[in-house]
Amino acid sequence: MDNFENQNNTSDIGNDDITSGHDDIREETPNGDFNDSAAPFSPDNTGVDINYYPESAFKRIEPDFEKEPDTGKTKSGGLRIFACFLALILIFTVSCTVCYNLGKNKKTDSELYRKTEMKVYPKPANTDEMSAQEVYDKINDSIVGIIVYSDDGTASQASGVVYTENEYVLTNDHIYASVPSPKFKVFTSTGEMYDADYVAGDTISDLALLKVKGAKGLKAPQFGDSAQVQFGENVVAVGRPGDARSPSSISTGIVSNPCRRAQITSNYTVRMIQTDCDIFEGSSGGALVNMYGQVIGITSSKISSDAGTSIGFAIPAKTVARIVPQLSSDGKVVNRAKLGITYTEITALEAELNNSKYTGLYITAVSEDSDLAGKVEKGSIITHINGNEIKRAETVLDIIDDSYANDVIKLTVVDEKGNSNELSVKLKANIGESSYSTEKKEVESIPSDDSKNQENGKEFNFPKGD
């Protein structure tokens, strides 16, 4: 097998048994005794043998001209058996109903991880685009300024987007990374100032949620479906660069790439909307807005060059829709999936240069909690996922990004001897953590130019394992 050891990139490419019992039913003879030789019930798969009739209840009566004297005893055996028969039917019916409802309501392991997501809206049909001024007027009350500070004097500032009216505000997780035991002041479009509490954050998505105390005038915007974003689409970025207390600023531009993998921390890349809108310092957590006044992304970072040009990135609204409800309900992201391997990407070019027959992911390590642990070895190559040939790592990353913890994917793996195996692999939960801390810590910097992202011939480094 070819050697890809020195090209490491990594990834967290992250029925009830119903048993029916049946009592023996014995026939009662006319003199009150029980006939043990009477045939017992022998239910079929439905639990009731509709072709069986108790003999004492439906026995043919032959003419008897020598009538026996009346002894005064009541011949009740047939009635008892008939009553038992009806009781069994009733019990069976109730049991089936209960089991059906339990089975109907019982969720699979994967379904348990599917959380309620925030609604995103399509672009309005048969509607002209607004001007930049009209978009600003529509979105302005939904943008806030945020000052992050601590008792030791450390401070930073950022922007935010209203998530729910007069209560929750969205921003980036990185805004408080360098501020120990951070506190928050939120400034509205009218200049009102409110205290806010940290709710939850997530470093991988770079999203965070704050709860504003006693706020008024905070208007939640409409979030647009970022899956509809197109190359070259006109957009604006709105935020509070420079001074969180000042009115929001607006910059215009286009969507350079609606779905580009960008490095948010040193360990992970995520799908982002790339734009040439100016995203200045202090704009982190602001809004990227389409020309219908819909928020399609949360501005997060930029890459600047010595020539003064920059590339801006925004977290897609579809990502916001999945992540933020979990931050609100669970305090962390719980359903994000990972594969749990360290790998080197083998593109067609790299396969040719290394005389490899395969493109895909060359496995350099498998984490202990991965479902692949014990199933594959170092040096194996994952060549297909869900039947799709892996020509770029993005093929795998995108499928896993769209999956949930406990979802099962299909992988084709070729070992070092050239043997190919088809594996069903359950994805594990990639539980989120936050930059929020009561202790001061170093901030992971984002690369300042493209050259730092191309050390191994890649545009960006890929997510790392555990």
Q: What positions carry a catalytic annotation?
A: 174, 206, 284
Q: Count Cβ atoms below 10 Å from residue 17 Cβ, excluding itself.
A: 4
Q: How far apart are CA 219 and CA 245, in angstroms?
A: 18
Cα 367 to the center of its chain, rounded Å: 21
The amino acid at 458? K
- Sorted by sequence, the CB contacts under 8 Å of residue 131 that are 6+ apart come out as none
The tokens for 380 are 């194996």
Residue bearing tokens 């190559």: 381
Separation in Å, CA 66 to CA 29, 62, 106, 144, 228: 19, 12, 64, 104, 94
- Sorted by sequence, the CB contacts under 8 Å of residue 353 that are 6+ apart come out as none
Q: How far apart are CA 281 and CA 138, in angstroms?
A: 23
DSSP percent split of the chain into helix, strand, coil, nearest 5: 20, 30, 50
> Rounded to the nearest 5°, which phi and psi values hold at 73?
-80, 145
Q: How crowded is the C-beta side of 280, counted as CA atoms within 13 Å?
A: 12
Q: How far apart are CA 404 and CA 399, in angstroms?
A: 10
Q: Helix (H, G, I), strand (E, B), or coil: what is residue 375?
A: coil
Q: Which of 209, 165, 213 is nearest to 186 (CA)?
A: 213
